Amino acid sequence: MPIDFYKYQGTGNDFIMIDNRLDTFSKNDTKLIALMCDRKFGIGADGLILLETTEEYDFKMVYYNADGAEGSFCGNGARCITGFARFLNIIDSEANFIAADGPHNSTINGEEVSLEMGDVDSITESENYSFLNTGSPHHVEIVEGLENYKVFERGREIRNTVYGKAGSNINFVEQLEDNNFAVRTYERGVEDETMSCGTGVTAVAIAMAHLGKAGGNEVGIITPGGKLRVTFNKQEGKFTNIHLIGPAKQVFKGKWG
């Protein structure tokens, strides 16, 4: 049976979107999900997202990594599914939905989506990096010469040797000026560098504010796929009212099978 799908991207972080409100998609078929995400033999994507119904919220977000395994929260994917929900006429300009890490609110204006993230009250500092969870685990490390940095090699090494089987996303960051930073991310599940990572961008912004390298309550991030903003409130070491803001666009639609 052919599967209707839509392709979305948020600053180059791309996703296959499927309307699964009728529960027709084979959710346990990890090989199918991995094949659909394959860039040579499938549609090609960093992940696959199902939009499902739930009584208490506008919709439910179910996210799968490109390897076919169900993943943790995906920030750019959540911004994209907000756009998808509006396309399906489920929402107008505001959404309240449930994801792997709990409930989220989001707003959409044109192609710009502002996503409310979970609070962060625990940041682990090591000698040369910070670790925190923004819906997914993130290693944040400041480096020099980010443009030519070996993100894939170094990211894969840290992901496996420091964090073991469970793994972590690995973010390398370089300060550009004041509250603006450049970020490149190696994502677990994709097991490669991605053009952008929403939870990673959020983790970087929070870590830089925590370390005193960013002032105020807004941080600008440049990823290989485009620009994002993170706003937040900080009080007594706790970060609340965190929002990830940036574009989310439908690229194309099609049928699988």
With a cut of 90, say whether residue 147 has pLDDT above it.
yes
Q: CATH class for domain 124-245?
A: alpha beta
pLDDT at 220: 98
CB atoms within 10 A of CB 217: 15
Q: Where are the domains of the chain?
A: 3-117+248-256, 124-245
Look at residue 30 in the predicted model and tell me its pLDDT: 96
Instruction: Please check the confidence at residue 1 and state whether its pLDDT lies above 90.
Output: no
Q: Is the pLDDT of residue 237 over 90?
A: no
Q: Is the pLDDT at 221 greater than 90, yes or no?
A: yes
Evaluate if residue 190 carries a pLDDT over 90. Answer: yes
- pLDDT tens profile 66-90: 999 999 999 999 999 999 999 999 9
Q: Considering the chain, what percentage of its residues have pLDDT values greater than 90? A: 96
Q: Give domain 3-117+248-256's CATH superfamily.
A: Diaminopimelate Epimerase; Chain A, domain 1 (3.10.310.10)
Domains 3-117+248-256 and 124-245 belong to one CATH topology: yes
More confident residue, 28 or 171: 171
Across 157-182, average pLDDT: 96
**pLDDT averaged over every residue in the chain:** 97
pLDDT attached to residue 176: 97
Active site residue 37: no
Give the active site residue among 50, 113, 197, 209: 197
Residue 13 scores a pLDDT above 90: yes
Structure tokens at 67: 């390897």
Residue of 192, 187, 247, 169 whose CA lies nearest to 12: 247
Q: How far is CA 79 from CA 75, 128, 141, 174, 197, in A?
A: 6, 31, 25, 25, 11
Annotated catalytic residue: which of 74, 120, 221, 244? Answer: 74
User: Known catalytic residue: 74?
Assistant: yes
